[in-house]
Structure 1
Amino acid sequence: MTQPSPVSDDNMHALIASRRSIVELKSDIARLRRGTYAGVFALACALTLLVSLVIVTVRTWGERDMGLANGLGLLVILVLAITGGLLVGDNRNVTVTDESDTRKSLSISDLRFNLEVAEDQRLRLAASTARPVHERRYAYCDAIPAEIERLQTEALRYRRWHNGFQWLLILCSAAIPAVAALYDPPQPGKGLLIGLGAAVSVITSAMGYYKFRERSFNLHQTADSIAQHLSALDLSIAPYGDVDEAQNLMRFAEAVELLRDEQRKREQQLDQPHQAQQGTV
């Protein structure tokens, strides 16, 4: 098996520049999308408010003076419409500066095309700057602590979501009988009881759909398993007690990739509907 040729500094700098260009293009595309979505949302709010004002005015015609409310509502509608129009118009194009310091305006379709070209260039540069296998395995091993930290952080985030929803569920469930006992007859606490019941239903449905506790447990389990393999590699104990360090690195990479693959499969299983999960068991 032939080893790749040494990587030159020029090729490495070109690869880094290509990756930076890809990141900047993705950031520009995301910014254009966010601005467009914000503009569309503002226009939708303006239209909704206008329809609401018309309906309320028609239903209260001759019974209530809606002049002040309509005036303020129309002012808000005008502000939302102008803001939405400006956001949609300004986010059709983005001004960028190329390598020759020339400023030009690009649409989102142009950015996507440039992104495809940059991705293709990155792949060609990556193929020409391939490093030897042992170097890639050392780099992989050095990147594992960051992967463990990412898994633990994500697991902690899901755990916090689970605990927060659990406390909300407990408080809402405890408030329902308290409000029912406080307001007897139910009025005016009927609306509050309806809101608490709806909150309990929404919280229960969200916890059952997103499965925060299961995701946190799986992520913690994967992070602990990878950390155990990393400690065994550092201490040169089983299954990494071989004298040849290259063999240890190969076994470590295989074990970690197997754990990550199992984690991805568990995440996919959690994303499936409940009926599909029963069918796969």
Structure 2
Amino acid sequence: MASSQGVLGVGSVTDEIIGYRREIADLEKRIKNRRLQILGLCLTPAILVSVILLWAGLKVFVWLHGDTPSAVNGICFAAVIVLGLATVVQFYAEFQDETWEDSGTSIRELKLEISLVEERHVLEIRQRTPPPQDRQASYKEKLPVEVTRLRRESTHYRRLHLLMQWILFFSSAGVSAVTAWYDAPQPAKGVLIGLGFVVTVVTAATGYFKPRERAFNLQQTADSIQQHATALELGIAPYNAPEEAVNLELFATTVESLRAEQRMREQQLDQPQQGQQQVI
């Protein structure tokens, strides 16, 4: 009976903590939606006024002594109607309707609310902190998500590097081809200038952002974490101690060291070349 009560107590605590996290996620979503709502309330009328001024400016400065083309009038009139309706609908939803969940609420109030929820969440966690072995076991279960994230970012940077390289290849080949085909008259000069600009930008971006190095570091960290997780799961060295608590502690320490090394490598990549040499 006592055991079942203990299980129920743990379950209720877990549900309460999960409830806090869901509330925080919901508030973050509401803040994002509220920002979009405020952006629409401010931006739509501004665009409407800009279109009206543009329409009037075209009439005054371009077609002052003639009729404005019907196509221009039609486009401007349609834009004014659409933007006007959008402005009316947004202001109605903000001040007269309850369609928007947080209509009339400032982002500052939502941020204050999420801060209070996070504070209650932290206090709840502190009051019911599990023992270190349970936290280490939970840490082990969370690692697959971290490994997946590292590999996804590695794939992203690898694809970005390949895209940059292909753009660089085609642009460099295009410069040579245009130079050989034309004797640098117009419009060949414009094409050469554009291709040379692309080559310069892609080369500079590749050297600055270093997507290849970032992809390699992320993949290396993910593989190392996966290797240690497999060793812990199979009970092989260095995680072959008789006590499970010792293995979990060593595993958590090793993985945190790998993640710290990954963060250090990212910081080194963000430094200028001279700064990297000094760090190394």
State the match for 2:179 in structure 1.
180
For residue 31 of structure 1, the aligned residue among 33, 38, 51 is 33
Question: Structure 1 CA distance, aligned partners of 2:10 and 2:200?
Answer: 61
After superposition, the Cα gap between the structure-2 partners of 1:11 and 1:39, relative to the gap in structure 1 and judged at 3 Å, is same
Contact 1:42-1:83 at 8 Å conserved across structures: no
**Pair 1:159 & 2:158 matched:** yes
Tell me: CA distance 1:169–1:52, structure 2 relative to 1, closer, same or farther (3 Å).
Answer: farther
For residues 44 and 64 of structure 2, what CA distance do their matches in structure 1 show? 31
Q: Which moved more, 1:142-151 or 1:212-221?
A: 142-151
TM-score norm. by structure 2 comes to 0.79
Q: Report the CA distance shift for 1:84/1:157 in structure 2 as closer, same or farther (over 3 A).
A: farther
Distance 1:235 1:163, change over 3 A: same
Alpha-carbon RMSD across the aligned residues, in angstroms, is 3.5
Say whether the 8 Å CA contact 1:159–1:212 is kept in structure 2. Answer: yes
Deviations 1:102-143 (A, max 9, x none): x97522122111111111111111112322222211111122
Distance across 1 between alignment mates of 2:179 and 2:45: 41
* Residue 206 of structure 2 is aligned to residue 207 of structure 1: yes
Cα distance in structure 1, aligned partners of 2:88 and 2:275: 45
Whole-angstrom distance in 1 between the partners of 2:171 and 2:56? 36
C-alpha displacement of 1:158: 0.9
Instruction: Give me the identity figure in percent.
Output: 37
Q: Give the Å deviation of 1:77.
A: 5.5
How many pairs were matched up? 271
Tell me which residue corresponds to 1:223: 222
Out of 15, 18, 26, which is 1:16 matched to?
18
CA distance in 1, matches of 2:25, 2:115: 12
Pairs within 5 Å for 1:263-274: 263-274=262-273
Question: CA separation of 1:73/1:200 partners in 2, compared to 1, >3 Å: closer, same or farther?
Answer: farther
Task: Letter of the 1:272 partner, please give it.
Answer: Q
1:1-281 → structure 2 map (5 Å cutoff): 8-37=10-39, 67-68=69-70, 70-72=72-74, 74-75=76-77, 78=80, 82=84, 85=87, 95-96=100-101, 105-281=104-280
Q: Secondary structure at the match of 2:142?
A: helix
Q: How many angstroms does 1:194 deviate by?
A: 2.2
DSSP 3-state at the match of 1:243: coil
Q: Is the 8 A contact 1:43 1:81 kept in 2?
A: yes
1:160–1:280 Cα change, 3 Å:
same
**Residues of 2 paired with 1:249 and 1:207: CA distance?**
40
Where in structure 2 are there 5+ consecutive unaligned residues? 1-5
Contact 1:40 1:88 in 2 (8 A): no
Q: Tell me how far 1:275 sits from its aligned partner.
A: 4.7
| Residue equivalent to 1:100 | none
The answer on whether the counterparts of 1:43 and 1:80 sit within 8 Å (CA) in structure 2 is no
Please say which of residues 217-226 and 50-59 is displaced more in the overlay.
Answer: 50-59
- CA separation of 1:153/1:74 partners in 2, compared to 1, >3 Å: closer, same or farther? same
Name the CA shift for 1:235/1:195 in 2 (closer, same or farther; >3 Å): same
